[in-house]
């Protein structure tokens, strides 16, 4: 059963994942495939789908953005919430409920220190600082931070304090932008409240 939660605008982290809880197993990749056509029909891009809150407060969190502004306003969030609520309720009525048990639906903007979940996110945000967490160590490191230089094929190039690193996209478990003066200027008028790191560039 779907319960509409808040339609908020704020930062979050992560990507499409398989969410496991004590009482449910949710394939958010399948949910993303289910809901993405509806999100696109409304004129938005789907950024991330995740199940958060555990068993105490199971919440389906959907991140989306306008392709031109990379942002959402409250009306956008509410429009997406209504469309997805109708879709998910229809799936439940047809016996194809993708989420076991009750849950809330939360729609939000990616925020300033946004997750980087798609390969195309990296050239889009070239020149900005990101933190990458890797599935397996690469050159002895499981986490890298540096400036995104670009993408060649499926290789993400990152300029780190220890030199330029080339990271296969499939090796990245999760990634997000880090808050800098440059990023704040590029994403105005988004609020930086809640962002976890401020790096001043001089």
Domain boundaries defined on the chain: 2-108, 121-193
User: Does residue 103 contact residue 85 with C-beta atoms inside 8 Å?
Assistant: no
pLDDT at 190: 58
In a 10 Å sphere around its CB, with 0-12 CB exposed, 13-18 middle and 19+ buried, how is residue 42 labelled?
middle
Distances (CA, A) of 53 to 19, 60, 89, 192: 10, 9, 21, 23
pLDDT band of residue 198 (cuts 50, 70, 90) is very low
Instruction: Check whether 79 has a pLDDT greater than 80.
Output: yes
Identify the CA nearest to 38 among candidates 115, 74, 90, 114. 90
Band of residue 97 on the pLDDT scale cut at 50, 70, 90: confident
CA 108-115-155 angle, to 5 degrees, is 145
Is pLDDT larger for residue 113 or for residue 83?
83
Q: How many CB atoms lie under 10 A from the CB of residue 49?
A: 28
Q: Above 50 in pLDDT, residue 21?
A: no
Give, as one character, the DSSP assignment of residue 66: -
* Total Cβ atoms within 10 A of residue 168: 12
Indicate whether 25 pLDDT > 70: no
Closest among 11, 96, 20 to 58, alpha carbons compared: 20
**pLDDT category, 33, cuts 50, 70, 90?**
very high
Mind spelling out the 3-state secondary structure of 129-155? EEEEEEEEEECCEEEEEEEEEEEECCE
The topology (CATH level 3) of 121-193 is SH3 type barrels. (2.30.30)
Q: What is the average pLDDT score of the chain?
A: 82
For residue 5, pLDDT over 50 is answered with no
* Percentage above 90 pLDDT, the chain: 61
24 vs 135, higher pLDDT: 135
**Model-level pTM?**
0.74
Residue 160 has pLDDT above 90, yes or no: yes
pLDDT for position 113: 87
- What topology is assigned to 2-108 in CATH? GMP Synthetase; Chain A, domain 3 (3.30.300)
């Amino acid at each position: 059963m779907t319960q509409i939660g808040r339609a908020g605008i704020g930062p979050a982290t992560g990507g499409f994942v398989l969410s496991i809880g004590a009482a449910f197993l949710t394939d958010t990749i399948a949910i993303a495939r289910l809901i993405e056509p509806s999100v696109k029909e409304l004129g938005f891009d789907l950024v991330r789908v995740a199940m958060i809150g555990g068993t105490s407060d199971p919440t389906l969190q959907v991140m989306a953005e306008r392709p031109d502004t990379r942002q959402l306003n409250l009306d956008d969030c509410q429009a997406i919430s209504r469309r997805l609520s109708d879709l998910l309720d229809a799936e439940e009525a047809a016996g194809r409920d993708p989420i076991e048990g009750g849950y809330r639906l939360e729609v939000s903007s990616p925020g300033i220190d946004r997750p980087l979940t798609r390969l195309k996110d990296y050239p889009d945000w070239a020149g900005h600082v990101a933190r990458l967490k890797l599935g397996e160590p690469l050159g002895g490191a499981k986490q890298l931070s540096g400036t995104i230089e670009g993408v060649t094929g499926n290789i993400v190039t990152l300029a780190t304090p220890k030199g330029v690193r080339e990271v296969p996209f499939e090796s990245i478990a999760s990634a997000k932008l880090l808050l800098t003066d440059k990023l704040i200027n590029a994403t105005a008028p988004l609020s930086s409240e809640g962002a976890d790191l401020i790096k001043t560039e001089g």
